[in-house]
Structure 1
């Protein structure tokens, strides 16, 4: 009986130690992690703060995959701006690549703290996300083969065009569809796929942002692009989850960049303007 009682006491002590260890504040296996988009940013390597930036890295020169160094690296205009802002505010920026139409949902489900992808703050998007001030203005263009003679929206009657799913260009194409008879729209996820459809003749034209169209046309001399004249603003801004505390601090840095010449420097670097 005495031996049994001692054994029971030892077992109880071991269980108590185990329970106390499980109540520690360290990151134990299975512990829920702080989701992106919360007020307190995640911890980066070295104890700093980290923000997750979601993008669609197929939109050169805004963001794209660069393999020139021998490794796959996402670079571009938006990436440089994000890194500059992160450095000024003391955040490490983690870039996550996904399809364009999944970017706003990533904010809503707290899988990202902000989105940079040449995104325009349309009324529809403003219902689901908060936006920074516009940091770069751009225009839409018609991209087509040179021999096609497709340079104006009215010439797209009875034609098939392609745009990026969820983009401002998709919205612009749907508006054109209301007044241009027989206009057929094909929406695709990646810009490279869009340009390839035009090159192969599977579609007659594409609608792309001018800075993006410029790069693809330079790389594909059989193509041309023509600016679509419009009074609407198609500028790019940073998207955040609704109620994000980061909007104001990001706006302050954007304003500083526009005043101290840093934004112009990056525009010249990536757009040659």
Structure 2
């Protein structure tokens, strides 16, 4: 549909980022796929083992399955905080007349703060000795019996490392959803109000269906990033205590650079890629099916 000159211009501008994407994303994925069929410690010669690493991962590695289920729970908590919080805040912002820019800036700040700073900030918040902010607040409101070492308790550590990740990106997704909400045609909303629609009906029948494409994109972004979450859990607990907060990403990293089993670590990385693709497919399928119904 474009003239030859325009097509050439498009190709010229697309080629550099496409090459960069291939070098930074596609090549490492293919390299990991290749290494997953070998046993290699990074120094000696690679030994071809075929599907042995995959069989070991799926049938003989309890830590892998513990990390997998931890990653799913970690993802669920992140999605509730990020998407749920973002939708609520964005909806409230559309009804505000003053202070919108200040609130948007405050919510967006965590996304631009260093990951290391966020990790150490929450380590102090969860601290039991010296008493951190969370335990101090529980004491002030008369819930001192709930005070604990949140990062050392196997029952709370996974939720504790998920909360900073959810808090970090809530503002970013809020901004995306807010931009979609203010683009909803006012004529549709006014017509619905004149017909006697409640605020809930207005949101579920007018606003949300209109922003569904943006919601799908945001959900995919949050899901894939949550499944690849690494830095904050690793910095806060390093997967401990035991494997209570071990994720597939942290387990893969330690397998590669602590156990120097690069072949098996590559197998785990291939699984993470497949997991992300399956998650995206399920999201698109479920949301499309719901839209059709």
Task: Report the TM-score, using the length of structure 1 for normalisation.
Answer: 0.22
The one of the two structures with greater contact order (alpha-carbon pairs below 8 A, sep at least 6) is: 2
Structure 1 or 2, whichever has the larger Rg, is 1
More helix by share: 2
More strand by share: 1
